[in-house]
Structure 1
C-alpha cells in the first residue's frame, strides 16, 4: 500500500507568518518520512500557495525572520487534488492529499478560514474544526463561550472599530473602570503581536492604536496579579477523554515586562518550569479547567490553555490557543514532553487523529 500523503502547510497572510515557518521547520524535521509522503507547501504573504523548494528557510537567522520563498511552483487544491501551475506550461496534477497539517497561526489561517477551505475540498486536516478555530481566534467570543461554560474569566472591555471611531470617550471611560494597569491586545491575533501594557489613561490611546495596526477589534483586559500557568490538552483516539499535560509556568528572563514576541521566539528570553511548583490540588484544578475549555469550544487535535494563578489561590482563565506555537521548543510540545509524549510522537499522533476522522460535519 502507498504511504499516506501529508501536506505540511505554513506561512500565510498575517503578522504570524514567520512563527508559522518556524513551527513547520520543526515538523518537517521530525515527521516520519518512512511512514508518510510529505509535501511542504508555503502560503506566501500575498496568499499564493507554493510548493516549497530546497531553498526554503524556516529559522531565524542573524535576527532575520523567515518568509515563504517564492521559488516553487504555484499550487491549487480543488476537491482534494493538488495541481501545480508553472508559467507557460500545462497544469500538472500531483495527486490526492490524505491529510493537511496546517502549522499556521493568526487570521486567514488559525481562525477557521483554512479549515473551511479544507472542509469544502473534502480534505482531512490536523487540529480543530471551523467553529472551534474561529471562536478560539476571537478573544471576545472565546471569553463569552468560556464564561458560559462556568470557567472563571477576568474583567475586560471589547473595543470595536465603529465605537472607537465614533464614541471614543465612552470607550476610554469603560476601560478606566477596569483599573490600572491594563493589557491591550488585538482581538484576533496571537504570538503576542500588537500587545502592550497601558499604565494610565495617557498611554491607553497609544496602546489601542498599536493593537489596531493588527486588528480593528481590540481587547482590553484588567491586569491579573499572579503567575502565568499553561496546560496542553491533546485529543485522545476514539471516544476517550482528552489528555491534559502537567501544568507549566512561564518565566520571562530577557528583561521584558510580560511574555511578548521576543520572549516567546528569541533564544534565552524565557524558561518553562514544568511541572509548575503548585499545590497538588491547584495543578489538578488547572488540568480540569483546561479540559473543560477544550471541550467547551469543541476543540480537536491539540490546544494550549493559559491561566493565571493568583496570590489568593484563584485559577483564572486567560485564553486558549487551538493551534499553539509548534516548534520543538514551544510551550505545548514541552508540556506534553514532560508528560511523556515526545515531539515526534506528538506530530505522528496529530496526523493519525486527522487521518482517522471523516471530513464534514461530525
Structure 2
C-alpha cells in the first residue's frame, strides 16, 4: 500500500499554542512512518504558516507557505522554493481558538481536503461552553447549573444574584477557551471582580457555573457510525490547587495523580461510558473526543465539557486511556487517520449539484 502524506498542523493564534506544539510533537514522533509521511506545518502566534522539518516553536528561518485555493488540487505552496505540497490528509492538532472551534475545519471542508477530527458544526458547538451545555440540557444529559453574560452586559452582572442562584463557591469561565485559561474559582465577593476581568480578557462571553464538589473523571470516545468509549480515568488534584488549573495541567509535575482506569465499580463505569457516548453524539463529534465529567459524592454523574482535539502530550489522558485498552500511541494515530479517510470517502456520495 502506498505511503500517504499527512500534514500535521500545529501552533496557531491561541493561548494554547505551546500545548498544541507538545501534542503535535508526539504525533510526529509516534506516527507509523511505514504507512504515513508526516509533513509538519506550523502556524506562528501571529497566524503565519510555515513548512517545518520538525515540530518545535521556532519559526524564524522556516519557509513560508501560502494556500493553493484550487478545488481541483488544493494544498500549499512553498513561497521560498515554489514547491507545491498536496497532502493526502490533514491532521489539525490546533487546540483552542481558530483550531478547535470550527475555523480550520471550515477551511478544509470548503476545499474538500480530508482531515482528522470533528467537522465545523460539532467543533463549534463543543468549543462553546455555553452552547454545548444548552445542547446537553436539551438532550437530557446532566450538567452543572450555569448562567451566562456577554461583555456588553458586564455592568449588569450582580454578585449577589449569582451567589443566590449558584451558591458559593462558583466558577467563572471564558466561554470559548480550553486548558483552564480564563477560569477562576470565586469563594467570596473579594475574588469576584478579578475573576470577571480575567475571563473577559480572553472572551466576550463568560459562563458562571455552580462549583461541583466531587471526583474529576474523563472518558475517551472514538468512532463514527458506532463509536466506542474507553474505561473512565480519574484526575486526582493536589490540595495545593483550588481546581484543575493550567499550571496543574502542564507546569507542575506533582500537581495531579492520573489514575487509568479510575477506581470506580462496573456500574458507575458503564454509566460514564453511556453518558459520554450520548454527549459525543449530541454535539455532533466525529472520529475522536475526550469527555470530561464529575462524579459527585452522592453518586450523580455530570458531563462538564467535550474536547474535540484532546491533548496528545506525555501527560494527556486521551492516549493513556486507549493504551490501557491495549491500543498503542502509534496504533491510535493510525486508527484516527483511517477513520477520517473512511468518513471523507463516505461523504463524497452527497451531491452538491442540482438541476431543476
TM-score by length of 2: 0.92
SS state at 2:18 partner: helix
Q: Deviations over 1:114-149 (max 9, x none)?
A: 000001121000110000000000000000111111
1:227 aligned partner: 215
Q: Distance in 2 between matches of 1:340 and 1:11?
A: 30
Compute the displacement of 1:310 (Å).
0.9
Which structure 1 segments of 5+ residues have no match? 58-66
SS state at 2:7 partner: strand
**1:4–1:162 distance in 2 versus 1, CA, 3 Å:** same
The counterpart of 2:322, out of the listed 332, 336, 341, is: 336
Give 1:125-204 correspondences, 5 Å limit. 125-165=115-155, 167-169=156-158, 172-176=159-163, 177-204=165-192
Compute the displacement of 1:254 (Å).
7.5
The counterpart of 1:110, out of the listed 86, 92, 100, is: 100
**1:354–1:255 distance in 2 versus 1, CA, 3 Å:** same
Q: Distance in 2 between matches of 1:168 and 1:154?
A: 20
Give 1:82-121 correspondences, 5 Å limit. 82-86=76-80, 91-94=82-85, 96-121=86-111
Q: Distance in 2 between matches of 1:24 and 1:42?
A: 10
TM-score by length of 1: 0.90
Whether the 8 Å contact between 2:39 and 2:53 is mirrored in structure 1 is no
Q: Distance in 1 between matches of 2:231 and 2:263?
A: 11
**1:181–1:76 distance in 2 versus 1, CA, 3 Å:** same
Q: Distance in 1 between matches of 2:278 and 2:40?
A: 34
Q: Distance in 2 between matches of 1:185 and 1:121?
A: 34
CA RMSD of aligned residues (A): 1.7
1:3 aligned partner: 3
1:261 aligned partner: 246
Which structure 2 segments of 5+ residues have no match? 351-356
Alignment coverage as a number of residue pairs: 342
